Amino acid sequence: MNLQSKTTWLTVFLSISMVALVAMVSLFFFRQFSMETAQEHVRSVAEIVRVSLTESMINNVIRDRQQFMRRLTDIPGLLLVRVVRGPDVDKQFGAGLPTEQAADETEQQVLATGLSVFRVVGEKEKPTLRGTVAFIGRNEGEPNCLSCHQVVDGTVLGAVTVEVSLATLQQKAVGTIAVMMGIMALFGVIFTLLFRWQLSMIVRTARGVQKVVAHARDGDFSGRLEYHGTDEVGQIASDLNGLMSHLQRDLGGISRDIAQLLSYELQGNTNLLTTTTEMVEVLLEVAQFKQAVEEDHSVQDVYVRIGRVLTDQFWVEHFSIYEVKANSNHLRPMLVDGEINADCLWCTDQVLVRADACRAQRTGHIVHSFQDPFICPCFIQSEATEGMGHLCIPIIHSGLVGNVVQIVVKRDNGHLYQLLLSFIQVFLRESATTVEAKRLLDTLRESSLRDPLTTLHNRRFLEEYVVTLDSTTRRGKTLLSVLLLDLDHFKEVNDTWGHEAGDNVLKAFAKVLNAQVVRGSDMVIRFGGEEFLVILQGNDASFGVAMAERIRLAVENLRIPTNGVTLRRTVSIGVASFPDDGDNISEVIKRADLALYQAKEGGRNRVVLYKEEEIPPDAPVEG
């Protein structure tokens, strides 16, 4: 039930209640009025009878009183008038007329007490008021009762009984009340209609407000209220119309600006309120994301954070983040389904060695397979990818593609991710500058930690890494072998054939080391000048000696063409191990240096394993 119906029914109920209440009150007061009027009528008739009888007695015509009494009953509404004589009157004048002697119980009570009695008798349809009024002799007024009656003042001489019909008064009261009720009912109807008419304008305005607000909740702010009054309702309509105009103009402009910032295309039926709220929430999340990636320690941390955004906010389960190697045509998977440095899973290995085989990397455009499943031949087609599609997003670094983010989802969800693409791109764009900066810093840092001639790690790298290496080895309780190598008579190369030849020898020697030391966990470091350091993790001294011997033989068989001649060199190697030869890595390196010194002293081109009983820790080393 709407407001207008509820209010109408309430008004009708109140009107009926008011009419009923007034009717009951009126009936009560009219009854009281009728009774009092009838009693006064009875008293008046009784007084007339008293005066008439007194005058008749004075004028000696008392014998004709019965005729007078009959004439009184001819008065409309007067049903009975009779007189009952008191004992003192009978005693003085003898018995009266027969009708004056039959006193009933009420009349006897009045004669005895001198108090008038009134009561209603008869049927409900024809009610009658019967009043018995005492006839008391007074020694005052005209005519004076005691002028004829020989009694004391205040003696009850008789009683006058009068019966008055109440039906006429009742009919008049009912008629009057009916007229009043009719007038009130008419007033109630008119009041209800006027109130309903006035309320209808408020209800129409309320419905209009409800409609406008409902449209606004759906993002449509074009609704307006049509009300031209100057009252409070008109002011509400005017204010609401102004608010809708303001929202339509300003919120629409804000939505367009944010959409342009997000590269999001607003549709014609877009809910501006919801869309703007979502876009603002995205901007807030993007701002927090940008601050977080800027504070991340490494570029790998940024990739992990991007993966977390894809998983948590965009419900992506399968994805790959590729990195385009600088100055090369290679792609490297940095994060695959949340796993760091995992193998390529969703694309063929071809993209790893030929980055331009990746359509997104080659064109710099977004590529998806939701309409054309075979748009990119590098996406693996197998039972595992059946029904799956990919969305590849290139990330531009300084005008070139620096990363490719690949999202793999069910092809049925492709339309959803095409809609989410703008929001995903915002996160990727905000991370692009940070990724580029951190990659550049990593490159610069890496270049500062590598020897530019041999591209091997340098001594600075060892100084930065040795603490981590030491704690990792201790925590894992693993073995570690250290090989310290020195090219024999290297100074002769520089002095005889020049520094260019010396550089060629060093580079050739570095290639030999890289060829022999192939595990990713092992390290080859240019320790300084013609000295090199090899750290073999997870191996004991015997393995270190075997590796040193393989390197020594490879160098001995090495031929180095330079400046028209072919050079041959040999190498001396000292070997020490952790934890046998020292409590930390630095001590083990010193022990390997002692063993190297012994190898040189022993004739060079040989491998010497450090043994404390043969080589004291304080033995001299070559300067």
Task: Give 517-532 pLDDT, tens digit per residue.
Answer: 888 788 899 998 899 9
Model-level pTM? Answer: 0.51
d(CA 253, CA 157): 108
pLDDT of residue 226: 76
Phi, psi of 198 (to 5 degrees): -65, -40
Dihedral angle at the C-alpha atoms of 51, 52, 57, 58, nearest 10 degrees?
70
Largest Cα–Cα separation, the chain: 190
- Residue 317 identity: E
d(CA 541, CA 549): 12
Spatial neighbors of 413 by CB under 8 A, at least 6 apart, are none
Quick one: the chain helix, strand, coil %, rounded to 5? 55, 20, 30
Residue 159's closest CA among 92, 95, 100, 118? 100
Alpha helices in 315-413 (DSSP H): 350-353, 359-363
d(CA 322, CA 330): 10
pLDDT of residue 308: 94
Where the chain has pLDDT below 50, the residues are 623
pLDDT of residue 547: 93
- Contact between 346 and 320 (Cβ < 8 Å): yes
Q: Residue 312 burial (CB < 10 Å; 0-12/13-18/19+)? A: exposed
- Contact between 527 and 460 (Cβ < 8 Å): no
Residue 463's closest CA among 596, 578, 586? 586
